[in-house]
Amino acid sequence: MKCYFYALLAMLICAGGVSGKTLRIVSYNIDCADQSSDNNLTNLSFNLPTVVQAIGLHHLGTNTQPVDVISCEELNSTTLSNFCSRLNAIYGAGTYAYDTNKDLTTGGGTDGIIYRINSVFIVSGRSLPTGPNVLLQSNLTYTAAYNVGGGVNGITRGPMLYQIRPTGFGTNNDFYFYVSHARSGTDNSVGDGRYAEAQAVRSDAKYKLPAGAHIIYGGDWNLFNGSGENAYKCLTGQITSDGTNWSDISSVWANTNQTQGYDPMSSTILPTTVTWANLAGDHASYLYNDNTSNLTSRIDIQLPNALMYAVYNSKGGVQLAPDTADPYDVSNFPASQYPYAFETFGNDGSLTRNTSDNNSSNHALNDLTNTVPNDVTVYAAIKLTGSGATFTGSDHYPIFGDYNIVVNPPVLGQPVVLTNKIQFTISSGSGGSYVIQSSTNLTSTNWITLLTTNPASLPFTFTDTNRLPFRFYRVQNP
Sign of CA dihedral 476, 341, 29, 90: negative
pLDDT of 212 over the 70 cut = yes
pLDDT in tens, 154-201: 899 999 999 999 998 888 899 999 999 999 878 888 899 999 999 999
Per-residue pLDDT band at 435 (split at 50, 70, 90):
confident
Region 138-153: mean pLDDT is: 92
Q: Report the share of the chain in percent with pLDDT over 90.
A: 71
pLDDT for the residue 19: 55
Continuous segment of H or E residues that includes residue 197: helix 192-208
- DSSP annotation of 129 reads P
pLDDT for the residue 168: 86
User: What are φ and ψ of residue 52, in 5° steps?
Assistant: -65, -40
Residue 250 burial by CB count (10 A; 0-12/13-18/19+): exposed, middle or buried? middle
Q: pTM for the complete prediction?
A: 0.88
pLDDT of 379 over the 60 cut = yes
Per-residue pLDDT band at 392 (split at 50, 70, 90):
very high
Q: Which of 145, 303, 304 has its CA nearest to residue 227?
A: 303
**Region label for 87, one of left (φ > 0), alpha (ψ between -120 and 50) or beta (otherwise):** alpha
pLDDT for the residue 335: 96
pLDDT of 16 over the 50 cut = no
pLDDT for the residue 474: 82
Region 141-159: mean pLDDT is: 92
Per-residue pLDDT band at 104 (split at 50, 70, 90):
confident
Parallel, antiparallel or unpaired: strands 18-29 and 69-75: parallel
CATH node for 19-407: 3.60.10.10
79-91 vs 47-57: helix crossing angle, rounded to 10: 50
Q: How many CB atoms neighbour CB 474 within 10 A? A: 20
pLDDT in tens, 229-285: 999 999 999 999 999 999 999 998 988 899 999 999 999 999 999 999 999 888 889
Show me where the domains of the chain are located.
5-14+409-476, 19-407
pLDDT for the residue 408: 74
pLDDT of 44 over the 80 cut = yes
CATH node for 5-14+409-476: 2.60.40
pLDDT for the residue 432: 61
Region 436-450: mean pLDDT is: 82
